[in-house]
Amino acid sequence: MRQSFFFLLISYCTFVHANNYLDHVKLPEWCTISGATVVDGRVEYLHHGNKDIDENDFFEIGSVTKIFTSLWAAMHSTEQEGFLKERISLYLPESKNKDLEQVVIHQLCSHTGGFSRLPPGIGLFRILFRRNDPYKGYRKEDLQKDLAKAELKVIGKKFGYSNFGSATLGLVMENATGMSYESFLHSKVFEPLEMKAFLKYTSENQKSVVPGYNFLGKQVSVWHQEAMAPAGAIKASSLDLTKFISKCLQPKEDKISLGIQKTIQPFYKINEERSVGLGWIIENVEGKVVYWHNGETGGYCSFIGFSPSMKTGVVLLCNFTGVESLRSVGLGIFAKIALKQAKVIE
């Protein structure tokens, strides 16, 4: 009874704070932050900005996609013991690059495989002159060509955030399982969790995605990703991601939960306050461990995080890239919740 009262009180305080915090975030009137807090199983949806947008509307979630790609590897490893320590070259038979023989699968998940941030075929010229949709037309064949000539550095010895590595992880997983990334997402994650999220745009589902705006407040194109999809192509609502975060906070003995538990194990220590698991950044926030990731595309940015010890999760989605860093906003919410919990305990 006392514990239930404690978390009910924390839940109420959290919701009040989260909305107050978002009230200080500046947005153009046509943009919004759609999100949620989850505290001890209680969900409170957050809406700041355009009131016509709510938790049912879809956003590009960008690099938060990487959490789901790493989850694929983790879930497969529960069925194939030792899978995370296998060489990626085993699943890339067309790539004769000897550097790939030194990289193991968990290093792709933890960004320690020595990959450059972007594939060689997506250089500065492409980013500058095709910035409205920079990955469009970059196919699996292009990724395989780039893998053949990739020069990997300090493998396993340094954290180096890499979209190239995440795209490669997706290709490795497709070859390892005989399943497409889209099929994995829908059959193994989205459908079991009753999420309506999707990977590829169609003429119909694109209508459900709110317009995105760049840092100047100009409406921009959505991003079409083929080979780079495992690095950042999922579209989801805050309702969808709240279901996923709730699953992270209330694990069971099912395949998704077992996979999630593997993803939050530390694989590399970045510094005294931050480590990386399989996809998740692991950070100390006011003495509490928080697992988080953020993302950004041309007109959207995102943040998700959860803390089992706080029984708390946070989801933030925005359709304006000029917004204050959602990473800072999200971690700020966790910090305030941690301080409120400490005061209640006192």
Burial class (CB in 10 A: 0-12, 13-18, 19+), 262: buried
In terms of DSSP H, where are the helices of the chain? Answer: 2-22, 65-77, 105-109, 124-129, 140-149, 163-177, 181-184, 229-232, 238-249, 255-263, 326-345
Per residue in 70-110, pLDDT (tens digit) is 999 999 999 999 999 999 999 998 888 999 999 999 999 99
Q: Is the pLDDT of residue 141 over 60?
A: yes
Higher per-residue confidence, 8 vs 228: 228
Query: At 223, which CATH number?
Result: 3.40.710.10
Q: Is the pLDDT of residue 145 over 70?
A: yes
What's residue 7's pLDDT?
Answer: 46
How would you classify residue 339: left for phi > 0, otherwise alpha for psi between -120 and 50, otherwise beta?
alpha
What are the counts of helices (DSSP H) followed by strands (DSSP E) for the chain?
Answer: 11, 12
Q: CA 279 to CA 63: how far, in whole Å?
A: 10
Predicted TM-score (pTM) of this structure = 0.93
Q: Chain-wide mean pLDDT for the chain?
A: 92
Q: CA 84 to CA 126: how far, in whole Å?
A: 33
Q: Is the pLDDT of residue 144 over 80?
A: yes
Per residue in 281-293, pLDDT (tens digit) is 999 999 999 999 9
Lowest mean pLDDT among 27-31, 61-65, 108-112, 187-191: 27-31
Q: Is the pLDDT of residue 4 over 50?
A: no
Higher per-residue confidence, 135 vs 343: 135
Model confidence at 259, in pLDDT bands (50, 70, 90)? Answer: very high
Model confidence at 342, in pLDDT bands (50, 70, 90)? Answer: confident
> What is the Cα 340 distance to its own chain's centre?
27
What's residue 1's pLDDT?
Answer: 44
Region 188-195: mean pLDDT is: 98
Q: Is the pLDDT of residue 12 over 50?
A: no
In the three-class reduction of DSSP (H, G, I as helix; E, B as strand; rest coil), residue 120 is classed as: coil
Q: Is the pLDDT of residue 128 over 80?
A: no
What's residue 340's pLDDT?
Answer: 85
What's residue 15's pLDDT?
Answer: 45
Region 273-299: mean pLDDT is: 97
What's residue 123's pLDDT?
Answer: 77
Q: Is the pLDDT of residue 250 over 60?
A: yes
The number of distinct structural domains making up the chain is 1
What's residue 313's pLDDT?
Answer: 97
Q: Rounded to 5 degrees, what are φ and ψ at 65?
A: -55, -35
What's residue 346's pLDDT?
Answer: 55
Tell me which amino acid residue 292 is: W
Show the domain range for 327.
2-345
Q: Is the pLDDT of residue 14 over 60?
A: no
> Residue 34's closest CA among 53, 16, 17?
53
